Amino acid sequence: RIGFFGGIDDYVVDLALLERVARQIPQASLVVIGDATCSMDSLVRHPNVHWLGFRPYEQIPAYGATFDVALMPWLDNEWIRHCNPIKLKEYLALGVPVVSTDFPEVRHYADVVAIARAADDFVALVRDALDGRPVGTPTCRRARVANATWDVQARRLLELAEATA
């Protein structure tokens, strides 16, 4: 099961890349969860694509935990080049293998995320993860984001405020 959860906007998500994954790995189910602000027709016409639409946020971790590979199929544009996606940390916290297109922020996680430089690489990295050759281990993925919780961040802010008071 290959999966993506989040908002589906045509200026963020590379729908053609998702379609390529569905077409080139037909034996796997591609599960897409989230509201779409663009047409999903070309993607959902593939028999192995399952677009579930919006799901309540509290249910998302349960869906994500069932993914054999989680996807970050971002377009290459200014928006993505300057993003710091929470989704990356959510996927890593679940411990599932992650395959992403290349953008500056994801490079900080190259030890636990498979980063594709081109569409063919993306599909090959998804196949590698499905075949038991993902980047990192579940324990390493979770450890990389263990200090990225809101509680940890709030403690850091309080410590900074107390240090300057």
Look up residue 22 and give its two tokens: 């569905």
Look up residue 36 and give its two tokens: 């779409």
User: Which pLDDT value is given to residue 153?
Assistant: 81
Look up residue 12 and give its two tokens: 């963020």
User: Which pLDDT value is given to residue 74?
Assistant: 96
Q: Which residue's entry shows tokens 């080049």?
A: 81
What's the Cα-to-Cα distance from 165 to each of 5, 88, 162, rounded to whole Å? 42, 34, 5
Q: How far apart are CA 3 and CA 131, in angstroms?
A: 16
User: Which pLDDT value is given to residue 18?
Assistant: 98
Burial of 62 (0-12, 13-18, 19+ CB in 10 A): exposed
User: Which pLDDT value is given to residue 165?
Assistant: 76
What's the Cα-to-Cα distance from 32 to each of 8, 54, 133, rounded to whole Å? 9, 10, 23
Q: What is the pLDDT along the chain (165 residues), one digit of tens a residue?
A: 999 999 999 999 999 999 999 999 999 999 999 999 999 999 999 999 999 999 999 999 999 999 999 999 999 999 999 998 889 999 999 999 999 999 999 999 999 999 999 999 999 999 999 999 999 999 999 999 998 888 888 888 888 888 887
User: Which pLDDT value is given to residue 22?
Assistant: 98
Say if CB 12 and CB 74 are below 8 A apart.
yes
Burial of 21 (0-12, 13-18, 19+ CB in 10 A): buried
User: Which pLDDT value is given to residue 148?
Assistant: 83
